[in-house]
Structure 1
């Protein structure tokens, strides 16, 4: 009975400590991350970003960030992407401790090694995976922004993507989800292939519009990557994905 009560009390104790720590000095508005990180009370310390309040109805968005992350700039799968410093970002899981996907990606990037058109890994730390910061977003963002993209630029992105995919296949690595959202852009607006899925451990697959028809949908190999690469070429050269009138979620079977 005593053991059961202790198990029930443990999460409540954490909540009470959090309320006790923050309530006396809480004011609606922005949270000073540096001030919270420098606090002497480590037992109730949390890193909160982007707290938003709306009176009708109440809407509170709380994002938890590890030490050193100054801003959440995006997400990838089940992970946040946080700005770490001027040259790196930290990819960390929505659920603290859920590191399977991060460790798979770190292992694949270690196998791949260095390449000019592939995102660079700076290694794992206790909170997540440190990666090269691609400050110019991804290729998809460029198309949706409405800016004109020259024919030569489109060809260059296609060539760089093809070279990146050829290189990872030489390293016996399958990407599993090649698309324009996973083509980031570096300081020179060249592409960086990112978001390696890990077919053997992660069970991922391409989106419907990049999916090569096959008998067994869970089989992924160099051919399925190359088929997805062809769909990526189409998107880059035409400025939109195949079957733009169809939605991946609603028309999966039709596609």
Structure 2
């Protein structure tokens, strides 16, 4: 088991909210299973290989087919959460969503506040997540997430996206970033079509 959120005196409301979210979402094969809570924090199913982000950092030889499967599984997790009337601002890269939020300039829809959430912002962030899964690095790797935030957000706003030509799912990522999808299920549909 894994303690995902330790208890802190000022974080009790966050822990309670997270607990309610997991109770509402689980069980689902794309969501880490909620195992309960202890005095130390919330317990989740152990991801034996760790997060997808760490796995990709350690093994850059993962096949494009496997990466595409993981992109589909990630999109399925976000689609499931949306069906449950939930919103996700971003993913930590794990195929099984663990509740982590990775919202920064490289995954945040331009013109939106850090805490502004909705279907369109989730789809934009999903595009960045799929890009990361397929490429093994974030969009605009030459730019610093914090120091170059304005540059990154400006490029996204002007649709000056990272090169997607060599990316197997480039058209899908481009559609996520450009606002062409109305629902996450459309992203899932397009990813599934690539697998057939």
TM-score by length of 2: 0.70
* Other-structure match for 2:97: 193
Change over 3 Å in CA distance of 1:165–1:126 after alignment to 2: same
Question: Does the 8 Å CA contact 1:99/1:128 hold for their aligned counterparts?
Answer: no
Q: Distance in 1 between matches of 2:73 and 2:83?
A: 15
Q: Distance in 2 between matches of 1:106 and 1:94?
A: 12
Please show how residues 1-255 of structure 1 align to structure 2 within 5 Å.
Answer: 88-93=1-6, 95=8, 98-180=11-93, 183=94, 191-196=95-100, 206-214=103-111, 216-255=113-152
Greater fraction strand: 1
Question: Does the 8 Å CA contact 1:211/1:228 hold for their aligned counterparts?
Answer: yes
Stretches of structure 1 lacking an aligned partner (at least 5 in a row):
1-87, 184-190, 198-204
Question: Does the 8 Å CA contact 1:91/1:102 hold for their aligned counterparts?
Answer: no
Q: CA deviation at 1:152?
A: 1.0
Q: Distance in 1 between matches of 2:113 and 2:60?
A: 40
Question: Does the 8 Å CA contact 1:119/1:193 hold for their aligned counterparts?
Answer: yes
Q: Distance in 1 between matches of 2:41 and 2:114?
A: 30
| Higher RCO structure (Cα 8 Å, ≥6 apart) | 2
Q: Show structure 1 runs of 4+ deviating over 3 A.
A: 94-98, 215-218
Question: Does the 8 Å CA contact 1:118/1:192 hold for their aligned counterparts?
Answer: yes
Q: Distance in 2 between matches of 1:151 and 1:164?
A: 20
TM-score by length of 1: 0.55
Q: CA deviation at 1:94?
A: 6.7
* Other-structure match for 2:171: none
Q: What is the count of residue pairs matched by the alignment?
A: 152
Bigger radius of gyration, 1 or 2?
A: 1
Q: Distance in 2 between matches of 1:225 and 1:137?
A: 23
Question: Does the 8 Å CA contact 1:179/1:210 hold for their aligned counterparts?
Answer: no
RMSD over aligned Cα, in angstroms? 2.0
